[in-house]
Copies of this chain bind each other. A is one copy, B any other.
Amino acid sequence: MEERLMRLGTLCTHSFKAHLDRVRLKTSKLTERLWIDYPEAVAIVPMISENEIILVKQWRYAVGRETLEIPAGKMDYGESPRDAASRELLEETGFGAGEFNLLMRYYPAYGYSNEVINLFVAKDLVKKGDLTAVHEINKTETLTMESLFAMISAGKIMDAKTIIAISSLKSRELF
């Protein structure tokens, strides 16, 4: 147990915050904890066929590079994980899905963030239009599970949520 003694500062965007807290550790030592207070989030494995996934290319400011990853995003206030997955999939790829199955819920970085990701597998995809998240997503790309797994093993995809999705499906012998 670690006890908050005082809030030293906060930085805010419209959708999440960073807090710096003065904290007493279980050993009575005093220290600071800097952490991100983040909304619950979703990530989606969009199965466009038995063996193919739609990925998105986007710029990631924190690491200064373009990445290839599964679609994902924050849940809106009051939204269910499934509704958020459906909305994010549509915004980032232009596809709707007939089926969303929750694969896993996990904390990506609880050393400094309370974010929880609800990871879904989406099936029965139907094209509804073009992607609308034009400020974030550059384009989509379709890859087979095997080629994605090979890219992860070769260190070409370094995104935790994509690694967790593909490794979990592979480890459960789902491809």
Contacts and interface: CB of A to CB of B under 8 A. Distances in A.
Interface string A19-41: 11101011101011111101000
Q: Which of A60, A155, A167 has the most CB of B within 10 A?
A: A167
Given A61-B2, A62-B36, A172-B153, A106 B20 contact: no
Contact of A158 (B1, B60, B106): B106
Contacts of A25: 135
Interface stretch (A8-16, A46-54, A77-85): A8-16
Secondary structure at the A interface, as helix, strand, loop or mixed, is mixed
B61 A26 contact: no
Given A109-B115, A113-B112, A171-B171, A104 B163 contact: yes
B1 A59 contact: yes
Given A18-B18, A155-B104, A62 B164 contact: no
* Candidate in A62, A149, A155, A163 with the most chain B CB atoms within 10 angstroms: A62
Interface of A: 1-2, 8-14, 16-21, 23, 25-27, 29, 31-36, 38, 59-63, 67, 72, 104-116, 134-135, 138, 149, 152-153, 155, 158-160, 163-164, 166-168, 170-172
